[in-house]
A and B are shown apart, each in its own frame.
Chain A
Amino acid sequence: MADLRELYQQVILDHNRAPRNFKELPDANRTASGDNPLCGDRITLWVKVSGDRIEDLGFQGSGCAISQASASLMTTVVKGKTVEEAERLFQHFHGMVTGVEEGNRDNLGKLFAFAGVKEFPARVKCANLPWHTLHAALLQQDRPASTE
């Protein structure tokens, strides 16, 4: 149960129940889709980039609590950041959930809520999917992102 509370933190359950920025963005100039066909998680992400700054973003999708809360939290965190800052967050986040680096609140802020994911190897791909999708959108990749 302790491990479960570690994984399903209140902030994650809250974002799953009421995802933020859950909308299509009509004036987006970047978009990408991500899906993990084996488990069925999918998200579509719309991003409005001005210069080197992420001005706004929205997402829609369906899947497990981890994937949807990760997408929701991500949108709230990267809004207003530069592309470079977002990519750096992605690196730290990825490092934390895969257990490669010790995450910390200083560089991850609210995203630190996902620290428990590293204890659940099967769920790492759920947490990472929105970030890979953002990465694909920022690079304007043609093919859908996937973490499977």
Chain B
Amino acid sequence: MTGTVERTVTGVRTAFDAERVRADFPLLGRSMRGKALVYLDNAATSQKPRHVIDAIHRYYETLNANVHRGVYQLSEEATAAYEWGRAMIARYLHAPSPAEVVFVRGTTEGINLVANSLGRQRVGPGDEVLISAMEHHSNIVPWQLLCEEKGARLRVLPMNDRGELLVEELPAFLSPRTRLVSVVHVSNSLGTINPVKEIVAQAHARGIPVLLDGAQAVPHGPVDVQDLDCDFYAVSGHKMFGPTGVGALFGKRALLEAMPPWQGGGEMIRSVTFEKTLFAPLPMKFEAGTPNIEGAVGLGAAVDFLHQLDWRAVAVHEADLLAYATERIQSVAGLRLVGTAARKAPVVSFVMDGVHPHDIGTILDQEGIAIRTGHHCTQPVMDFFGVPATARASFALYNTRDDVDALVTALRQVRKVFA
């Protein structure tokens, strides 16, 4: 059956039925320009399963009230739903406790929280913050702002021309002045899966905390922050089949407790007088104002959906998609891949001789195929590879080999138009 992949992994026969999973995503059934929609922009945002849509719907029809405030039952139920969402994402990240998971708007806000709180507390003139050459702008700009304010220096761990970090050079980039390392777990524009556990270990050997940008990792399976031993891990709900406007920041308890709040307001206080405010315990200390309650509920539902999947089978399916796409796409004349790391998530970035990515995007759109074209908020990566932009097909668990075939056929069409 199309979309079903069977492989033997470590002796266990697993099967993943992508067609069945597709049926859970209502939007994937719509047509686009008279053709079946082929959605290959999952690294930008994922589609939502009915489970998530229904949970948000149900929340507003049966549970809506402000959280952590009312003494009435409805508020208690809303609070329980909100905290259930926290417990679910905490479980998905294998955080030791939900108290170490702060709700934020998304990965960007999670990184900004750490930069503004721990960053301002610990980074001073002459200190250093280390990032990598393949960061999304959201893991560059907050540190630039901090370094500018503090007179600190932003350093960048380089990569090779396959799009792999030069981890062997890491010791040279970790100095006695390094106050924090912040690197991406999986690159959004290259697909590279970075050896983050090793990076964390090396930084910890020098007493330096590490933040991981996990936005592109969590759509491809649960993460174990205790195994990685990272100090912070930031994710976005909408990239992992949940709603937009909600995300989570895991932080180790001792660090979060020592960090000052970064936004003040309701919800994050224990008591307020005009002389002094006592802050709420974790995680509320970092959640000023009425939170995105429907977002938390939707994210919880997304994790609930993800927990029902056989992740070993998903991994086999996604590896097959990546291998198949990588091979098929290179059969198109004049096409060059950007990002060819040995370990990759199912993301294929490419350029085509004589055709700008935006023209590729427009022509593919005529065939009902949605891909991303542009710099993917990683301009330094584009500069490194000497291209102004790339076209990027990014796959999720509901994509199939048929989607790859449609992409390749449309890319041949592009060649024909620009012949």
Q: Which residues of A contact B (CB under 8 A)?
A: 1, 3-5, 7-8, 13, 17, 38-41, 62-66, 120, 122-123, 126
Contact = CB atoms under 8 A, between A and B. Distances in A.
B358 interface: yes
B54 interface: no
A13 B356 CA distance: 12
A-B pairs with lowest CB-CB distance, top 7: A64-B356, A64-B358, A40-B388, A40-B389, A65-B359, A64-B359, A8-B417
Contacts of A1: 366, 413
B386 to A, nearest CB: 12
B306 interface: no
Nearest to A63: B356
A125 B9 CA distance: 50
A3 B367 CA distance: 11
Contacts of A66: 358-359
Nearest to B33: A3
Interface residues of B, number: 18
A64 B389 CA distance: 10
B221 interface: no
A62 B358 contact: no
A126 B366 contact: no
B410 to A, nearest CB: 11
Contacts of A123: 358, 362
Contacts of B356: 63-65
Interface in B368-404: 373-375, 382, 388-389
B374 A38 contact: yes
Nearest to A7: B362
B418 interface: yes
A24 B363 CA distance: 32
A90 to B, nearest CB: 22
A26 to B, nearest CB: 26
Nearest to A68: B356
Contacts of B357: 64
Contact of A65 (B355, B366, B382, B413): B355
A62 B386 CA distance: 13
A9 to B, nearest CB: 11
A107 B277 CA distance: 70
Contacts of A7: 362
Contacts of B418: 8, 13, 65
A97 B39 CA distance: 28
A13 B362 CA distance: 14
A4 B374 contact: no
A3 B417 CA distance: 12
A17 B374 contact: no
Of the candidates A17, A39, A63, A66, the one having the most CB atoms from chain B within 10 angstroms of its own CB is: A39
Of the candidates B356, B366, B389, B418, the one having the most CB atoms from chain A within 10 angstroms of its own CB is: B356
